[in-house]
Structure 1
Amino acid sequence: MSVSVRIPTILRTYTGGESEVSADGATLADVIDDLEANFSGIKARILDDQGAIRRFVNVYVGNDDVRFLENLETKTPEGTQVSVIPAVAGGSS
């Protein structure tokens, strides 16, 4: 199943500058594996050494944060948009 993946600026060096790419997979894990097959090195920027989504990376399938769904086993139906968004830290002084 083909999905559209929105790539944040910080990861576009892996996608040749593309802000959106296509990937195949029935689950988020499959989609990330397909991204890695086509854009070597990107998976390590999304997942940590234990294979979990990095603490400061948010991933959405449609409008839903996968941490509140099934994490990497979240289904990715045909045509779904997946968004990878680095968390932004900050505060006021």
Structure 2
Amino acid sequence: MKTKNKIPMRQCTGCREMKSKKEMLRVLKTTEDEIVLDTTGKKNGRGAYLCLSRECLDKAIKNHGLERSLKTAVPDEVYERLKKELEDIEK
């Protein structure tokens, strides 16, 4: 009998909804305290997840969800990069 693989679920820092890891964007704080987008989902560091929508990003900015998840201040240019990334995805 074949067992079903568990789908890893993560919570969006914007809307707080649980979704599968594949449907989300991972923002990562590396060991060098750099904040990067992790497209592979495999890099080492502290990760925070966002839905692939501009709405969730706006909510995360407003409620400081990313800062809370990453336990550090998030510079504005990271948010700008995320906005660009989401625009590219939504096209």
Q: What TM-score, normalized to structure 1?
A: 0.32
* Structure with the larger helix share: 2
* Larger-Rg structure: 2
| Bigger relative contact order (CA 8 A; separation at least 6) | 1
Q: What TM-score, normalized to structure 2?
A: 0.32
